[in-house]
Amino acid sequence: MNTYVALLNFTQQGLTNMHESAHRASAFRAAARKSGCKVLHLFWTMGAHDGVIVFQAKDDAAATGLMMSLSALGNVHTSTMRAFDAAEFTALVEKAPKM
């Protein structure tokens, strides 16, 4: 499974319905499970972003589909990044062409 980090920002709708955010997070975890993804961490944050989700998916298509479904609800905008652990990063570096 690949690891992904998604940064979240509330939309106006999400801010208006902020009191439902924890419930929506539980529903998101259940939807992720049903789609074969696994939510590792879900945080509400201060600063430039309102939340962070760390999750695993079998591939980029599964991760993108999950985030598109979340965004389609209209409560958050997402920005998702593929994350690599040390072993994965080392393997990528070893495959990088020498210039």
pLDDT given at position 90: 96
Average pLDDT, the chain: 97
pTM of this prediction exceeds 0.95: no
pLDDT digits (tens, 9 = 90+) for 14-58: 999 999 999 999 999 999 999 999 999 999 999 999 999 999 999
Strands 76-83 and 51-57, sheet pairing: unpaired
pLDDT given at position 99: 87
Pinpoint the alpha helices (H) of 1-99: 12-16, 21-34, 60-72, 86-95
pLDDT digits (tens, 9 = 90+) for 56-94: 999 999 999 999 999 999 999 999 999 999 999 999 999
